Amino acid sequence: MKDVVFFRFGYYNYTKLNTENMVKKFKADQWYVVDLLIDWEKQRVSIYIDGAAHVAVPFFTTMKEKIESVNAV
Protein backbone atom coordinates (compact mmCIF):
# COMPACT_ATOMS: atom_id res chain seq x y z
CA MET A 1 0.00 0.00 0.00
CA LYS A 2 1.26 3.48 -0.86
CA ASP A 3 -0.20 5.99 1.59
CA VAL A 4 0.31 9.70 1.07
CA VAL A 5 -1.64 11.27 3.93
CA PHE A 6 -2.88 9.90 7.24
CA PHE A 7 -4.82 12.71 8.95
CA ARG A 8 -6.79 12.25 12.14
CA PHE A 9 -8.08 13.84 15.31
CA GLY A 10 -6.35 11.86 18.02
CA TYR A 11 -5.52 11.46 21.67
CA TYR A 12 -5.02 14.46 23.96
CA ASN A 13 -7.25 16.53 21.64
CA TYR A 14 -4.57 17.07 18.97
CA THR A 15 -4.82 16.80 15.21
CA LYS A 16 -2.21 14.50 13.73
CA LEU A 17 -0.66 14.33 10.27
CA ASN A 18 1.34 11.27 9.23
CA THR A 19 3.98 10.84 11.96
CA GLU A 20 3.63 14.39 13.33
CA ASN A 21 1.55 13.77 16.45
CA MET A 22 0.74 17.18 17.92
CA VAL A 23 -0.04 19.52 15.04
CA LYS A 24 -2.78 21.62 16.64
CA LYS A 25 -5.03 21.21 19.65
CA PHE A 26 -8.71 20.93 18.72
CA LYS A 27 -11.97 21.43 20.59
CA ALA A 28 -15.03 19.20 20.41
CA ASP A 29 -18.12 20.64 18.69
CA GLN A 30 -16.09 23.22 16.75
CA TRP A 31 -15.76 23.34 12.96
CA TYR A 32 -12.35 23.72 11.30
CA VAL A 33 -11.29 24.41 7.71
CA VAL A 34 -8.54 21.91 6.93
CA ASP A 35 -6.49 22.12 3.74
CA LEU A 36 -3.95 19.45 2.82
CA LEU A 37 -1.56 20.50 0.05
CA ILE A 38 0.30 17.67 -1.69
CA ASP A 39 3.71 18.39 -3.21
CA TRP A 40 4.32 15.54 -5.66
CA GLU A 41 7.82 16.71 -6.55
CA LYS A 42 9.10 16.84 -2.94
CA GLN A 43 6.82 13.96 -1.81
CA ARG A 44 5.53 16.05 1.11
CA VAL A 45 2.14 17.12 2.42
CA SER A 46 1.40 20.41 4.19
CA ILE A 47 -1.53 21.11 6.49
CA TYR A 48 -3.32 24.41 6.91
CA ILE A 49 -5.97 24.78 9.61
CA ASP A 50 -8.29 27.78 9.40
CA GLY A 51 -5.92 29.34 6.86
CA ALA A 52 -2.78 29.06 9.01
CA ALA A 53 0.14 26.82 8.01
CA HIS A 54 1.06 24.28 10.66
CA VAL A 55 3.45 21.64 9.38
CA ALA A 56 4.85 20.01 6.23
CA VAL A 57 5.81 16.33 6.47
CA PRO A 58 6.95 13.54 4.14
CA PHE A 59 4.36 11.20 2.66
CA PHE A 60 3.20 8.50 5.07
CA THR A 61 4.48 5.59 2.99
CA THR A 62 7.90 4.09 3.60
CA MET A 63 8.25 2.81 0.05
CA LYS A 64 11.16 4.11 -2.00
CA GLU A 65 9.39 4.56 -5.33
CA LYS A 66 8.00 7.98 -6.22
CA ILE A 67 4.26 8.35 -5.70
CA GLU A 68 2.52 10.38 -8.39
CA SER A 69 -1.21 10.05 -7.60
CA VAL A 70 -3.83 9.04 -5.06
CA ASN A 71 -7.08 7.18 -5.61
CA ALA A 72 -9.00 8.12 -2.46
CA VAL A 73 -9.31 11.02 -0.07
Between 46 and 3, where is the model more confident?
46
Q: What is the pTM of this model?
A: 0.73
- What's the CA gap between 30 and 66, in Å, rounded? 37
Amino acid at 6: F
Q: Find the distance separating the first CA and the last CA of the chain, reported in whole Å.
A: 14
Task: Give pairs for 23-31: CB < 8 Å, separation 24+.
Answer: 23/47, 23/49, 23/54, 23/55, 24/49, 24/54
Question: Listing from the earlier edge strand, what are the strands of the sheet with 20-25?
Answer: 7-9, 14-17, 20-25
Q: What is the pLDDT of residues 52-61, one digit of tens each?
A: 999 998 888 7
